[in-house]
Each structure stands twice: as C-alpha cells, then as structure tokens.
Amino acid sequence: MSMNNSPNVFLDPNANRFQVNIINESHDNNETSQEDVGSDPPHYEETSFTDEAHNRLRISYRPGKRELYDNFLQNGEKTEASLHPYDTHNKMYYLQTFGHNTMDPVPKIDYYRNTGSVSGNKLSRPSLLEIHEQLAKNIAVSTSSVERVVNGESTTGDEPADSKEEENKTGFVKFGWVKGVLVRCMLNIWGVMLFIRLSWIVGQAGIGLGIIVIGLSVVVTTLTGISMSAICTNGVVRGGGAYYLISRSLGPEFGGSIGLIFAFANAVAVAMYVVGFAETVVELLKESDTLMVDESNDIRIIGTITVVCLLGISVAGMEWEAKAQVILLIVLLVAIANFFIGTIIPTNNEKKARGFFNYQASIFAENFGPGFRSGEGFFSVFAIFFPAATGILAGANISGDLKDPQSAIPKGTMLAIVITTVAYIGVAICVASCVVRDATGNINDTVVLGMSCNGSSACGLGYDFSRCASQPCDYGLMNNFQVMSMVSGFGPLITAGIFSATLSSALASLVSAPKVFQALCKDNVYTGLHFFAKGYGKNNEPIRGYVLTFVIAMAFILIAELNTIAPIISNFFLASYALINFSCFHASYAKSPGWRPAFRYYNMWVSLFGALLCCGVMFVINWWAALITYAIELFLYIYVTYKKPDVNWGSSTQALYYVNALDSALALTTVEDHVKNFRPQCIALTGAPMIRPALLDITHTFTKNNGLCICCEVYTGPRKLCVKEMNSGMAKKQAWLTKNKRKAFYTAVAADSFRDGVKSLLQASGLGRMKPNTLVIGFKKDWRNATPTQVENYVGVIHDAFDFELGMIIVRISQGFDISQVLQVQEELEKLEQERLALEATIKENDFEEGKSGICGFFRKARTLNISKHETKKDSTINTIQSMHVGEFNQKLLEASTQFKKKQGKGSIDIWWLFDDGGLTILIPYILTIRKKWRNCKLRIFTGGKVNRIEEEKLVMASLLSKFRIKFADINIICDINIKPSKESWKFFEEMIEPYRLHESCKDITTAEKLKRETPWKITDAELEAFKEKSYRQVRLNELLQEHSRAANLIVLSLPVARKGAVSDYLYMAWLEILTKNLPPVLMVRGNHKNVLTFYS
C-alpha cells in the first residue's frame, strides 16, 4: 500500500504548508514506488487555501488514469480544493493536510448543511470508525464517483425530491435588507391608519393619550422585534416568517397552532387594507355624487375589483410585486411630505370652516386631553390603531426570498419601527395642533360681535361650531376621516398616498399569507393541508395559497366595516407576537448550547414581559375575542400534539425537557431512599424488545407509571461488527418501544461474553437514584441443548445480580419468549404478498394494453388471463400451504407472546411465599392486581408451616398482610413440603440430570480426577448427595404446585438460591426446570433481602 510519501512530495520548495494532495490508495507496494519515480510531474490545480499562484491541488495517478483526472478537474464547475473527493462516500481518498497524508478533512461549511439544502450541497465527512480503523485495502477509483464529486453532487441519496427540484431551478429573486425588509415593513406599517384613522384616533384620545397609544403599540412591536431579531440570528432562516421562527423555536405544536392563525390573520388583513382603500374611493365618489349603489355596497364592489387586481400582481411573481412596492413607497413618501408642507401653508376660509387653522397653541392645548365619544375608550381606540403596528413582520414573512435573512430581518425591521414611529407621532401632533375636533364646514358660522360662544379654540379663532354639540357635524378630527387630504398642500397627493399605503399593505399581506401557509403545509403539520404546499415557477410561488387567501379576503371584504375587522386581526397578531416573545424567552431559559444568537441586544426576562404584555393587551382590547383566539390555539395545539408530526427541529422545548429531567435527576440524588417509596426498577434482558414481547409486557405491567424499565441487549462476537450493529439499531428499537406505548428505555452493550455484558449493565445502568434494583430475565428453556459455557454464563448472571445486591425475577412461560423465527417468517410472507400484488398489477396493466388491439388482442387477453389464473392459483396454493404450516407451528408461540397484553379474566395469582426476601415476592403480585388487566385476579397466599400449628400460622400471615395493607382471598399453609417426592417424579429428575453427571464414585481416583479437570461443569456424586434434600424439595414443590395452582393465572414463587462454588450450574438449572415444569406462567422472585414493605406510616 502506498501513501505517496516520497521525499519529493514533502520537500518541494514551492509547496505551501497547508497544501492538500489527493492520493488514491494503491494495493501493490512495488508498483507504487516505481510509478512515482517514472511518472510525469504531478498536475496542479488552484486551491482555495491561500494565494492562487502558490496553492495547488496535487494528484497522483494510476497508470493510464492521467486523462481521467485532467477531465475531472478541467471539465467540472467546481475545481477548488474545498471540494473533498471523499464525499462521494463510496470510495476512499487521502488528503495531504498540514504536511502529511490523512483522511481527516479540513473544517468546511458543507459538512454542516442539512440534507436537501438549497444553498449548497451537503457533504459527508469520513466517519470516526473509518478514520480510527485500519486503512482498507484494494480500493480503486471509479469514474462515476469522480464525476459526481466534480459536479458537486452528494451520493447519500436521501435528499428530498422537492429540495432537489428547488436546487436545480435558476433565476431566484432574492432581496436585500432595504428592498426586502425595510421597504416592506414601512409600507405595511404606514397603512390605513396613517391617512384615514390617525386623525380620528388623536381626536378621540387627544395628543397625550394618542402618543401613549402609539407608544404602547411601539413597545409591543419593539419587544417583539428584539425577540424576533434574536431568533432570526440563531441560524439560517427559511421561508415561513413568524411560523418558521416559532415552530423551529418551540416545536411543531406551538408553531403549527400559531402558523394557521397567523396565516389567517394576514388573509384578513388583506380585507382590512382593501376596505380602507375602498372607503377612500367611495368618499371621492360621494363628493362627486357618482355612487354606484350606496356606500356599503360600493365598498364591497370596489374592494372585490381591487383584490382581484392585487391577486394578479402577486401571481405574476415576486419581481413584479417588488417593483410595485418601490413605486408605492415613493408615492407614499411624497404624500407624507405633502402633508407636513400643507400644515404650514396659510389656510383659507373654506378650510377654516372645516376646522383647519394651521398651527395654533389654543388648538394644541384643547386637543391635548382626551375627548372620547360614542362609547369609545382608551383600549377601544388602541384596538383600532394597533393593526398599524402589525407590519413589522412583513419582511420576516418573506424570509425565504431574502439574500441574508439573518442580517436583513433585524436591521430592516428595527429601522422601520424607528422611522414609522417618528412619522406617526409627528403626524399625530401636527394634525392635532392644526385641526379642531368638530367643524360644520359652513363658512358663515363665524363669531358675530355680541354673540355668546362656548369658549372653544374655534371661538377664539372666529368660528362658532357650538351646534356640533347638539347635532352631527361632517368635519373636524372626530367626524371627517379625510382630514389629512384637507390639510395637505395638494389634496390629490394625499389621496394617492392613501391608495399607496392601503394597496402596498394589502399587497404585502396578500403575499405573506400564502408564503406562511405554504411553509406550514410543506412541513406537513396538518396532513390534510398538504395540497397547498406545492409551488410554481422559479420562485416556488404558492398559487394555491393565493387563491385560498383571495377567498378569505373576499369573505371579510363583504363585511365592509373597517372598525369591525381591525379588533379581530389585533388579537390574532398579538397571539403571534406573544409566542415570538415567548420563543425567545424559552430558548434562553432552556440554556441550550445551540442558542447562540448573533443579535446580542436582548434579554430573556424582557422577552417574557413582552409576551405577557401581548397577552394582557389581547384581553383588554376584546376579552371574548381573546378567549376565542386562545381556544382555537389550544385546540390546534392539542390536535398537533395528538398527531405527533414526524419532525425534529431541535426546538427549545426539547432542550427544556432535558434541562428539567437533569434538574429533577440531580434533585433526586439529595433525597434519601425510604422503604415507603420503594418501587421495582428493572433491567429486563429482553434482547431486542420486539423479539421477546411477553417478557417486556410482564415487566412493563409492574413498572409502568411506577418504576424504571430498561430493556437490555448484549452483543457478543467481533467487536467491530457488534458495535456497528448495536449503534445502527439503537434508535429503531427505542422507536419501537415508543410506538408500542411501552414506557421503557432501550440500551445495549457489546462484550466478549453474555455474562460480561450483563455485568456492565448491572453496574453502569441508570442515573443517580434512578438505578435498577431488580433484574428480570426469561428462563433458559434450551439449557439442556446449550453449551456448558452458555449455561455457565446464564447462571453466572444470577450470581452477579445477587453479588450486586439486586433483586432477581426469572419468568417462565410454557412456549418460551423468543419469537424471532415467527417475525422472520412474517417478514418473508409480507415480501411474498407484496410481490404477488405487484405481479397482479403488472398482469392487469398488460391485459389493459392488449385489450386495445381488437379481436387478436381479445384472444391474447384470454390466454394471458388463463395463464395468470393458473399462476395465481399456484402461488396462492403455495402461500396457503406455507401459512398453514407456519400457523400450526407457531400459533401457540404467537398466543403466548401476547398473553400478558390481554385482560386477565376472573382468576387468581398464587403466591408461594416460602422464604422472606424483604417482601419483593409479595409486592410484585400486589402491583399487578392494581393494574387494569389483572384487577379481577385475587391473591392466594401459600406458605410453609407445621401440621399442629396450621391455624396459628394462618393468623400470623393474615396479620402480617393486613399490616402491609395487602388484600388477599385465601391463605394456605403447606405442611408437607419436606417429605420425599413420588418415585415417578424423582425418577424424572434423575433422568433429566443423567447426561450431566460425572459418576466419579464408579471410577478409580485417577480417572475421576481427570474427568473433573476435563468436565468441571458436571454434577458430581458428592454434590448431588450433599444437596439431595434440596433437590427433593424442588421436586416436591412441583408436585404441590401441580396440585394447588395448576388453574392459576400466574404463579409467583420464591426463587431458590444456589451457593456460589457449591452448587453446579447444571444442578441449579435442573432445580429451576423441575420446579416450574408443566405450570401456568411462573415468576420466580427473590428480593435482595432488604425491606421493600413497611407497616409504619
């Protein structure tokens, strides 16, 4: 193997220190050294490390491969050294990095991209295993792999088709922070309110409270803008605006619920802005006396025409929409400037009659205080104004169309808030300093000498508008929504400004709603809405979303009442703002290392205050609308939580789960153990949980919602293969537990032997106080066919559990636990069924095609059908035979594997509490009886005693159980445990252990010693004699169990303990075998002889 480490490579005076050489691995030692000497000088390509003239990409070739590499580097679009040829992921290369050959790549952004990234290709770095293990042999370079790397393609094959399609599209329209965010936000904020409602608001609230209304709105939007800026700068932001920010921060539950509401709110906002535009047009029609029907219906007609035109611009694409926005901004700025100029142009009599007197201190003083009328109040006025502030998300809503959302959204949004706030406050103060609240519009309503006046500022300026107190007037701040047109230097410009503001805001909302809705549908949070995820054109325009938004907007346009629409939107947008603020707080509070926003000017407590402020304002504005909003959000949250969309966005909710779990685990370490709080915390040696479901089910029955359950698997064999298999299956097996609603953990270890693996699990499993205290294993049914090493390992595990002071539960069922063969057969049958269905579909398709060719086709069709019927019949016969065979062979095993999932009928759990082990033998069945499936089973207690003390023993046991508050149906005292078993039973036992006996007493000493050395695992005559009484007891107990508990639903039995070094493994297994033979399911239980029950309070 050659690494091309010849001196001329490293001593090249022109080589840069950070030069990268691509060197393919050879499999002929002699060949390489000769090739390196005789080959042409290496060909160089420019790299991206330092200066182009000095950094080169050096390549060594196999014979005849020079042209291939020339094409590889010259024909590809990407030739810089940042391209790592290893990323083909199916061939190995070696890079010379920092002066030596290595597979280690240099840091590069492409390794950190998501699969399917549209901004670049995701590349895969070498795995740690590939770097750590010895270098592979006989690796050749394939032309296809090289070409794929040159073209920048990833070979992982897991990129979604949608992402690939988007990536292949050209001509994306991307906006900078000014055009994409600042312009949009300013246009959206300067909407309806600026020209046709701000004068009314300041007339109602006065200058003082009017500024507070604006200020309160700005506080809400500024806090939200700060929180949004922090979230935006914490990673790449894609399309979806507020929905994307909230969903990626708080998870799909919050994001999915608010995303739907937010998209709907934007759709309704279209209606609000269009109605504002229509109102202005109707005013003009009214002035010229050219109304089509009446005011309300004209608003509906004009609104419908307008929204259709806006839909056409939106569907045409973002380019046209952006151009329209720039034109509208210019018109809007000119209109605002026109208003300020108009305030200093001397007024005339007509304008004075309508309440405009230029800047007057008396008017300023009169309008400074509030003048609420018609049931309006501070918060109702605030509710009308607040939608003007909702424009701060206009830029964020098209985040997918921005060049750099992370930079553009914070910069553009915050600057837009500052500029628009200054404009709003300036307009409010100016208009309230120039125009009185009420005016008649009659130039003859002047103050005549000697005439009494109401003392208003208008009186001081020579006009008497006192009759407005008793009858409605048409002019003034309180009555005329077109005050700004009157005040301006050139009225039609204000009208143009109104058109510009309303249309730009409507256009922005009409674009935002489908974009947000499309992002929501793409994530498939609501599976029924996935229809709207499809995009069209180079910018992936959501045409279907546009149509839906149009329908919603039309429905609200028909209301034609701006003041009715505005409070509804206020609540929806405030709910969105509240969650954006809460997202920032939550992400900060979770303290995840992944929370690293580039925007530093935020504080989590300020964000929390912003969230609470939004919630409070919602209720103040309209309490019943707030309740409805929360109810809808809660319903959607519950729905998404129930559906559990298959997404993983690394939300702060996940981070907080970890923090809470860690804090709770640490807090638990300070709590001392107490017998009253004892609960079984089990390690269950299930292997893969789906292989032994019955063992998991019975363990889960007494640990569910009560204690820890860890399903464990031990991999034995070549370490490299074991670790690879173990790592690849961890997530799958834990997912199986979750899918099957098993509240358990899965863990696995790779070890040299089964016993060593279990030792590791017993010592290292758990965390703090949440450590296992009980080992649950299945009975080794095949121990007589197993090797001595396997039996030694199995019994050794039991010894180890006792050494580590764990309780022990051995579960035996008649059919055994392992159903791996059944699963394998089922998998094969499923494949056969899929193949059969595919074959039938192909035959039908062929029949359909052949049927098109007339009579000849008819006969061919008949012949084909005849053949296919025979084939189908043959296949179905084979499948039927297989199914019957499998069914006969595995039916009992399948039933046994699910027996603990079924509800147990009326019956009994028989507890043979023969030895006091601390109470675990009685606690486990008690826990079972409080479970729903075992609730109908009564506890029957069996224990040993003397013949002459049966009643006394019963009373003692009944007293003990009553103190433990454990209900029982019956107590049986067994007096004949220690008598000899029947000859038939004992003969069966002797025949069972016969193959494992040494029979050393029948041989001479030398032969006996030799046999002991060669087969130390066999049962000696001395051992059998020493433990003869104990063997009698196990055989006798089986007879008693057959007599008393044959009909029980479950038997719980004290597990006999074998002394280490005294009782051989095969003798102990024979005890367990004979003890539990031909019985219902048996749990052999032995506690660690520490109390798990107490009668003290």
What digits encode the pLDDT tens for the residues 442-488? 887 787 765 666 667 788 788 877 778 778 888 888 888 778 888 88
What digits encode the pLDDT tens for the residues 223-262? 998 998 888 888 777 777 778 878 887 888 888 888 888 8
Q: What percent of the chain has pLDDT above 70?
A: 80
Taking a C-beta distance cutoff of 8 angstroms, is the pair 395, 408 a contact?
A: yes
Of residues 399 and 831, more confidently modeled: 831
Gap between the Cα atoms of 746 and 832, Å rounded:
31
Distance spanning both ends of the chain, measured CA to CA: 75
CA 605 to chain centre: 26
- Place 1076 in a pLDDT band, splitting at 50, 70 and 90: very high
Gap between the Cα atoms of 527 and 969, Å rounded:
53
Q: For residue 403, what are the CA distances in angstroms to 174, 252, 407?
A: 5, 26, 9
Q: Which of 34-43, 312-321, 820-829, 1082-1091 has the lowest mean pLDDT?
A: 34-43
Taking a C-beta distance cutoff of 8 angstroms, is the pair 46, 83 a contact?
A: no
Asked whether the predicted pLDDT for residue 52 surpasses 80, the reply is: no
Asked whether the predicted pLDDT for residue 319 surpasses 60, the reply is: yes
Name every residue whose Cβ is closer than 8 Å to that of residue 633 and which is 6 or more positions away in sequence: 257, 258, 261, 575
Q: For residue 315, what are the CA distances in angstroms to 321, 469, 542, 544, 928?
A: 9, 51, 8, 10, 64
Q: Which of 3-12, 235-244, 675-684 has the lowest mean pLDDT?
A: 3-12
Name every residue whose Cβ is closer than 8 Å to that of residue 853 and which is 6 or more positions away in sequence: 860
Six token digits for residue 208 = 């003082």
Summarize the confidence of residues 131-148 as an average pLDDT. Answer: 48
- Give the closest residue to 214 by CA, choosing from 229, 198, 200: 198
Q: Which of 129-143, 722-736, 1068-1082 has the lowest mean pLDDT?
A: 129-143
DSSP β-bridge partners for residue 750: 715
- Place 31 in a pLDDT band, splitting at 50, 70 and 90: very low
- Give the closest residue to 942 by CA, choosing from 804, 783, 1048, 825: 1048
Q: Residue 211 has what pLDDT?
A: 93
35-64 burial code (b ≥16 CB/10 A, e <16): bbeeeeebbebbbebeeeeebbbbbbbbee
Instruction: Name the DSSP letter for residue 505.
Output: H
Instruction: Name the DSSP letter for residue 234.
Output: S
Greatest mean pLDDT among 16-20, 65-69, 384-388 lies in 384-388
Q: Residue 454 has what pLDDT?
A: 64
Helix (H, G, I), strand (E, B) or coil at 336: helix
Ranges of H-type helices in 898-949 = 920-929
What digits encode the pLDDT tens for the residues 943-965? 988 888 888 989 999 999 999 99
The per-residue pLDDT of the chain, averaged, comes to: 78
Helix (H, G, I), strand (E, B) or coil at 154: coil
> For 372, what's the count of Cα atoms within 13 Å in the CB-facing half-sphere?
12
Taking a C-beta distance cutoff of 8 angstroms, is the pair 107, 121 a contact?
A: no
pTM (two decimals): 0.69
Q: How many residues does the chain have?
A: 1097
- Give the closest residue to 822 by CA, choosing from 896, 736, 883, 890: 890
311-338 burial code (b ≥16 CB/10 A, e <16): bebbbeebeebbebbeebbebbeebbeb
What digits encode the pLDDT tens for the residues 713-759? 999 988 888 888 898 889 899 999 988 889 999 999 999 999 999 99
Gap between the Cα atoms of 368 and 432, Å rounded:
8
Six token digits for residue 226 = 């700060």
Q: What are the counts of helices (DSSP H) followed by strands (DSSP E) for the chain?
A: 39, 14
- Give the closest residue to 534 by CA, choosing from 522, 552, 550: 522
Asked whether the predicted pLDDT for residue 108 surpasses 60, the reply is: yes
